Amino acid sequence: MLCLDPSCGSSSSMPGYAIYRAGEFVESGVIYVVPQWPLHIRLQAIGQCLRSEFGEPDVAVVESIPVRAIGRGRSRRGHASLLQAVGAMICSVNCSNVIYIDPRIWHRHTQEGWSKGDASDAQAMGNCVIEILGEIQNYE
Protein backbone atom coordinates (compact mmCIF):
# COMPACT_ATOMS: atom_id res chain seq x y z
CA MET A 1 0.00 0.00 0.00
CA LEU A 2 1.28 3.44 -0.95
CA CYS A 3 -0.12 6.38 1.05
CA LEU A 4 0.23 9.88 -0.33
CA ASP A 5 -0.09 13.21 1.46
CA PRO A 6 -0.56 15.60 -1.44
CA SER A 7 1.42 18.77 -1.97
CA CYS A 8 2.64 20.56 -5.06
CA GLY A 9 5.98 21.20 -3.34
CA SER A 10 6.41 24.54 -1.65
CA SER A 11 8.73 26.10 0.88
CA SER A 12 6.41 24.87 3.66
CA SER A 13 5.31 21.45 2.37
CA MET A 14 6.47 18.58 0.15
CA PRO A 15 4.47 15.54 -0.98
CA GLY A 16 4.63 12.88 1.71
CA TYR A 17 4.53 9.12 1.22
CA ALA A 18 4.33 6.00 3.35
CA ILE A 19 4.76 2.41 2.25
CA TYR A 20 3.12 -0.63 3.85
CA ARG A 21 3.61 -4.30 3.03
CA ALA A 22 1.13 -6.91 4.24
CA GLY A 23 -0.37 -4.32 6.58
CA GLU A 24 2.96 -3.43 8.19
CA PHE A 25 4.63 -0.03 7.98
CA VAL A 26 7.86 -0.10 5.97
CA GLU A 27 8.98 3.50 5.47
CA SER A 28 7.86 7.08 4.99
CA GLY A 29 9.42 10.16 3.52
CA VAL A 30 8.93 13.09 1.19
CA ILE A 31 9.30 13.64 -2.51
CA TYR A 32 11.47 16.72 -2.75
CA VAL A 33 10.88 19.18 -5.58
CA VAL A 34 12.40 22.61 -6.01
CA PRO A 35 9.79 25.05 -4.67
CA GLN A 36 10.92 27.80 -7.05
CA TRP A 37 10.10 25.78 -10.15
CA PRO A 38 6.85 26.63 -11.96
CA LEU A 39 3.85 24.63 -10.74
CA HIS A 40 3.53 22.47 -13.85
CA ILE A 41 7.22 21.49 -13.65
CA ARG A 42 6.88 20.57 -9.95
CA LEU A 43 3.80 18.43 -10.70
CA GLN A 44 5.64 16.72 -13.58
CA ALA A 45 8.60 15.99 -11.28
CA ILE A 46 6.29 14.50 -8.64
CA GLY A 47 4.63 12.34 -11.29
CA GLN A 48 7.98 11.14 -12.65
CA CYS A 49 9.15 10.22 -9.15
CA LEU A 50 5.96 8.30 -8.37
CA ARG A 51 6.20 6.34 -11.62
CA SER A 52 9.90 5.52 -11.31
CA GLU A 53 10.34 4.99 -7.55
CA PHE A 54 7.18 3.33 -6.29
CA GLY A 55 6.31 0.65 -8.83
CA GLU A 56 2.76 -0.67 -8.91
CA PRO A 57 1.22 -0.79 -5.45
CA ASP A 58 -1.81 -2.99 -4.81
CA VAL A 59 -3.56 -0.09 -3.09
CA ALA A 60 -2.99 3.66 -3.16
CA VAL A 61 -4.33 5.88 -0.37
CA VAL A 62 -4.64 9.59 -1.05
CA GLU A 63 -5.89 12.34 1.18
CA SER A 64 -9.21 13.59 -0.16
CA ILE A 65 -9.01 17.35 -0.35
CA PRO A 66 -12.51 18.79 -0.14
CA VAL A 67 -13.61 21.12 -2.91
CA ARG A 68 -15.28 23.97 -1.07
CA ALA A 69 -15.19 27.66 -0.44
CA ILE A 70 -11.85 28.78 0.89
CA GLY A 71 -11.85 29.86 4.50
CA ARG A 72 -9.67 30.18 7.56
CA GLY A 73 -6.79 31.97 5.88
CA ARG A 74 -6.30 29.56 2.97
CA SER A 75 -5.65 31.13 -0.37
CA ARG A 76 -7.58 30.18 -3.49
CA ARG A 77 -4.33 29.69 -5.40
CA GLY A 78 -2.90 27.40 -2.72
CA HIS A 79 -6.08 25.34 -2.57
CA ALA A 80 -6.24 25.06 -6.37
CA SER A 81 -2.62 23.87 -6.59
CA LEU A 82 -3.28 21.32 -3.84
CA LEU A 83 -6.21 19.92 -5.85
CA GLN A 84 -3.92 19.79 -8.89
CA ALA A 85 -1.36 17.88 -6.83
CA VAL A 86 -3.99 15.27 -5.92
CA GLY A 87 -4.81 14.81 -9.61
CA ALA A 88 -1.17 14.60 -10.62
CA MET A 89 -0.46 12.01 -7.93
CA ILE A 90 -3.46 9.83 -8.78
CA CYS A 91 -2.73 9.76 -12.50
CA SER A 92 0.94 8.98 -11.84
CA VAL A 93 0.42 5.90 -9.68
CA ASN A 94 -0.24 2.75 -11.67
CA CYS A 95 -2.87 1.28 -9.35
CA SER A 96 -6.48 0.30 -9.88
CA ASN A 97 -7.39 0.29 -6.16
CA VAL A 98 -7.47 3.84 -4.83
CA ILE A 99 -8.81 4.85 -1.43
CA TYR A 100 -9.53 8.51 -0.81
CA ILE A 101 -9.46 9.36 2.87
CA ASP A 102 -10.99 12.47 4.36
CA PRO A 103 -8.56 14.38 6.59
CA ARG A 104 -11.18 14.53 9.36
CA ILE A 105 -11.24 10.73 9.46
CA TRP A 106 -7.51 10.11 9.64
CA HIS A 107 -6.99 13.00 12.08
CA ARG A 108 -9.36 11.23 14.51
CA HIS A 109 -7.28 8.08 14.27
CA THR A 110 -3.86 9.59 14.85
CA GLN A 111 -1.86 7.88 17.53
CA GLU A 112 -0.40 9.42 20.63
CA GLY A 113 2.89 11.11 19.88
CA TRP A 114 1.99 11.94 16.27
CA SER A 115 3.33 15.28 15.10
CA LYS A 116 2.17 16.93 11.90
CA GLY A 117 4.51 16.67 8.95
CA ASP A 118 4.48 15.54 5.34
CA ALA A 119 5.88 12.03 5.93
CA SER A 120 4.13 11.54 9.28
CA ASP A 121 0.78 12.57 7.78
CA ALA A 122 1.13 9.91 5.05
CA GLN A 123 1.98 7.34 7.72
CA ALA A 124 -0.98 8.43 9.86
CA MET A 125 -3.29 7.95 6.86
CA GLY A 126 -1.92 4.45 6.32
CA ASN A 127 -2.28 3.57 9.99
CA CYS A 128 -5.88 4.77 9.88
CA VAL A 129 -6.73 2.67 6.83
CA ILE A 130 -5.11 -0.42 8.39
CA GLU A 131 -7.03 0.18 11.64
CA ILE A 132 -10.38 0.65 9.88
CA LEU A 133 -9.87 -2.41 7.67
CA GLY A 134 -9.01 -4.43 10.78
CA GLU A 135 -12.22 -3.27 12.46
CA ILE A 136 -14.24 -4.25 9.38
CA GLN A 137 -12.57 -7.66 9.26
CA ASN A 138 -13.26 -8.26 12.96
CA TYR A 139 -16.88 -7.17 12.51
CA GLU A 140 -17.51 -9.82 9.87
Whichever domain contains 131, its CATH number is 3.30.420.10
According to the model, what pLDDT value does residue 4 have? Answer: 96
Using alpha carbons only, give the angle 67, 83, 28 rounded to the nearest 5 degrees. 120
> Measuring CA to CA, how many Å separate 1 from each of 5, 55, 71, 85, 96?
13, 11, 32, 19, 12
- pLDDT per residue of the chain (140 residues) written in tens, 0 to 9: 999 999 999 989 999 999 999 999 999 999 999 999 999 999 999 999 999 999 899 999 999 887 765 555 556 667 788 888 988 999 999 898 999 999 888 888 877 777 888 999 999 999 999 988 887 877 75
The pTM score is 0.87
Domain extent at residue 75: 2-139
Number of domains forming the structure of the chain: 1
Considering only CA atoms, which of 100, 96, 79 is closest in space to residue 3? 100
pLDDT of residue 73: 54
| Among the listed residues 95, 98, 26, the one whose alpha carbon sits nearest the alpha carbon of residue 61 | 98
Question: In the prediction, which pLDDT does 105 show?
Answer: 87
Residue 68: the pLDDT is 66
Q: What is the pLDDT of residue 66?
A: 77
Residues 6+ positions from 133 with CB-CB distance below 8 Å = 23
